[in-house]
Structure 1
């Protein structure tokens, strides 16, 4: 199979390449991981990525063509819901800031989901103000010695690798003294502890880093460039959360419609108006998100992702609230409050009471809705920025 002039590929070209691949790598007789690795090597994992890194440099809008052909052939998927941080945040960050060696090392097992990723960003004193992180990284020969505490870390209990931002120069202002690393979660000194949520389960964690050694060749970007790398990752995160690839009527709106269609005894005229309004809003959000996904795939995640994330949080909370209202006391029978440790929970796997409670976290995770509004105001609408008195003050001199 040739990959010349990849940027000029048409949908027919891509479809032909996918069918040719399936002819020589039949899903029925090829092991799952072997198939996924071969698909990556053939450039049919992320078609918009460069050759040799899972793609052929094609238009990202052609990815659905490949996915549809593979799905119709019964090809195994890479279970993206199990590695949302790796696929949605780590991969584009590595592609943009990683060295050629880092890209070759990390991207293939990340896409096949043989290696799960988490994100060590937030801290007890650095959530919405992420640039205030106190986790330190000090150079020691060819290594960095990292100490600190991270919190709200989804998938840390399953992760092989983490992307982590740490402070390497406390004498610089908070945005300029940070550096970005890839951390092996199996390293000595990494301690993962569950955090129990309002739903009962422990989907995310707090992570303690005690003299964890990270080789300098696992640094992403230059020393002191950590905030720029982090900003890119956060923009990708907001697109991944608010504009994730979903079919029509999936997620919260899908569950609400299931109740509406299956339970005619619960329908009222007033509720009908609300259901229709939410369906329209969810569909508008889904179609808008499609454009954002293509922008992200082209390596240009922008502040518009904050709007998608803000809309996602609001809709999830309002839709789950209406579902609870429809079901009444029936929805209050919450049958499982055990401290489960799921990899990633979904709407369809849980009752209405769970969806109502879990949706409360949507306006916090990935950046609070208040911060999203600030970003939209300043970077989309061009309104004056909020005063920031600590902008030029050395981090070590800031009050705590």
Structure 2
């Protein structure tokens, strides 16, 4: 059965918007957890382990990424066995249970117990994030087989929209209006409840592999029978490094150097991505998926390099514009490219690719931080010299140098991707002519 011959369910529109709401919930949760992490550190971790509280909150945030990666890898091959509806409901439930555990952690007992419950809450949130990715992408390709790139980009446009809502809420509700971090965390539960209730009322379609009768063993073996598949998870590792890792870093690196909260730069970038992802379908038909990805690496590299030099709100927004244009199509277009080239791999193939992207964030972000820390100490003249710096021009110069070095290091990734995508495009073009 070809993609075009596959039956589109009558409730495709409702299913798509359930997927949108679930993805939005994951993005909102990610943004809010990041926005209130400083308050969680101050209220829960500083009294318990003041000398190690920074490392502890970084590890706590990292648990959500680890949960994301592991659940995505575990659930993806079993999606047809469980059924997409059950996985969607599981994801919605974890976006309720995870925040509740985070809210209960202060009353769990002593500092050690509080930290354990807090981390369990983060892991549960990450499990829901991975279950969301494991379900909504195969469901979308199943209900819109004729427009995978366009619909996956339209779906993932709501990730930056969730970042926008969560980022603005963090700035204006939490920081400006004094709303407690507990209320902010509780906000995540609202769309999760709505999504779960909506999903209960709908019948979900089978995935492409299920609809075509692809056996489980065939799906699992497909990536290993076709070695060319593995280039795509490797590419996804790099594309996520160019998109999501810097997105998690802008608040730390840019707030001191550009004269505005770094989270607002991320909100601005997310707004551009939300708009542009709705145009991915026509662009993909014009350039091809690999051609589109290759072209996008150019503004991505330029934007990341310019972010390293940004020293004012105007220069930061100019650089962020180029970076946003470059990275906005990468994640969903990579998923669509895998689904189109290896349809028999089904949810498993999409899951492996998404897992590679998730692990990139988990692995690369600490390395960016390490580069940043080493650069600021180098600029200050050593550890003791940096510790002695007071707020002023010297500290600003050290942090600006650190931001420059960290962004320039990651700016190399899109340059590498330009070469990789170019080679893939040439090889596939030669095969079509053969």
The TM-score, its normalising length taken from structure 2, stands at 0.28
Greater share of residues in helix: 2
Higher relative CO (CA 8 A, sep ≥ 6), structure 1 or 2? 2
Greater share of residues in strand: 1
The TM-score, its normalising length taken from structure 1, stands at 0.30
